[in-house]
Amino acid sequence: MRVMVFLLVAACTAQAQAPVSIEWSLGPEMPAATAGGATGMLGDDLIVAGGTFWHTPDAKRYVPWTQICDTRVGAWRMGPDLPAERAYAFSAVIGERMYVMGGAGQDGQAVADGWVLQRGAGGEYEWRPGPALPVAANWMAGGVIGSVLYCTGGAPADLSTAYNAVYALDTADPRAAWRELPAMPGPPTTILAATTCDGDLYVFGGYRVDRDPGENVDDAWCFDVSEERWERIRDLPFAGRALSALALDDRRILIFGPYVQSAREAAIHGQEHGHSAAVLLYDTAEDRYYHLEPMPHSVVQIFFALRDRTLFGAGGEWLFKVRSPFLFIGEIDHLPR
């Protein structure tokens, strides 16, 4: 069934020759398989902080672990724990700091507080108090432009409501407060993919919560930061949630691992058949999607970081309630301008 899902996604995607190719390989497995961890790259180190796993089919555990992979030598180690168990937080890297905000702890209740991971005087990583989100939220997504954080698409602990508001925070000013920007158009949507590219914020897919049952969406939007204006861009070739996005350069965006099964299909077949290995490239100049080489395994809610021309992604959900231990490494080739 997972193969069928991938083929359906591929068939819906533009068939033109992609301007980018990815050669995938597997790196060393994580010390502990988790999903929903905050992910970022500090220098050569891939960081996966917090997350969840299923202790039993009925018991979900939230963890404070910080797992660090030195991508130069291909070895994992454990770093300092987060100050509390945390998953589904908003995370972003600016310079030598990784910001982690919001998410939820073991009680499942959304929080707003935040921390910053950076190296201390002795050269070892340490967590310090950092800015909090303007609202308590899981699943916020966004990106960075200069020193400014942008985020949207969060939700409280359950999925009965979602936040379409967009927030911005200038981390260069310690006295700055979050600014609320024009809300994302469309129905309340969360568990979406978002990233910044060439000074604008892009949003893809997600889960619509204003219907019962909720449903995946194929919506895609661009927020023009300079004009503070939203523009509808070409829809995704599928409706999907729990996907992630990463800017490849100042024109192209990579989109990874959507969960594509609808609520109706899940009720018939079970929730374990919606995972996808699909990878798309969105060209902002052409307003067009290209299908790229799939990830080595079908994993949703996996987050990637980019170092030079190499992608690194770890964690996520491999099968229903089964966390992925895999480290995906993608060598990018063919980048015409």
Q: Which domains does the chain show, CATH number per domain? A: 2-333 (2.120.10.80)
pLDDT of the residue at 1: 38
Rounded alpha-carbon distances, angstroms, from residue 273 to 75, 183, 238, 258, 264:
32, 33, 15, 12, 12
3-state secondary structure of 179: strand
If DSSP codes are grouped into helix, strand and coil, which group holds residue 100? Answer: strand
Would you write out the chain's pLDDT as a tens digit for each of its 337 residues? Answer: 333 344 344 444 445 789 999 999 999 999 999 999 999 999 999 999 999 999 888 899 999 999 999 999 999 999 999 999 999 999 999 999 999 999 999 998 999 999 999 999 989 999 999 999 999 999 999 999 999 999 999 998 777 889 999 999 999 998 999 999 999 998 899 999 999 999 999 999 999 988 878 899 999 999 999 999 999 999 999 999 999 999 999 999 999 999 998 777 766 666 667 899 999 999 999 999 999 999 999 999 999 999 999 999 999 999 889 999 999 999 999 766 5
* Secondary structure (3-state) at 273: helix
- Tokens 């129905």: give the residue: 187
For residue 266, the surrounding DSSP H or E stretch is helix 263-269
CB-CB contact of 113 with 103 (8 Å): no
CA of residue 33 relative to chain centroid, distance = 17
Per-residue burial over 18-47, b if 16 or more Cβ lie within 10 Å, else e, is bbbebebeebeebebbbbbbbbbbbeebbb
Residue 56 is encoded by which pair of tokens? Answer: 């039993």
Question: What integer pLDDT is reported at residue 50 of this predicted model?
Answer: 98
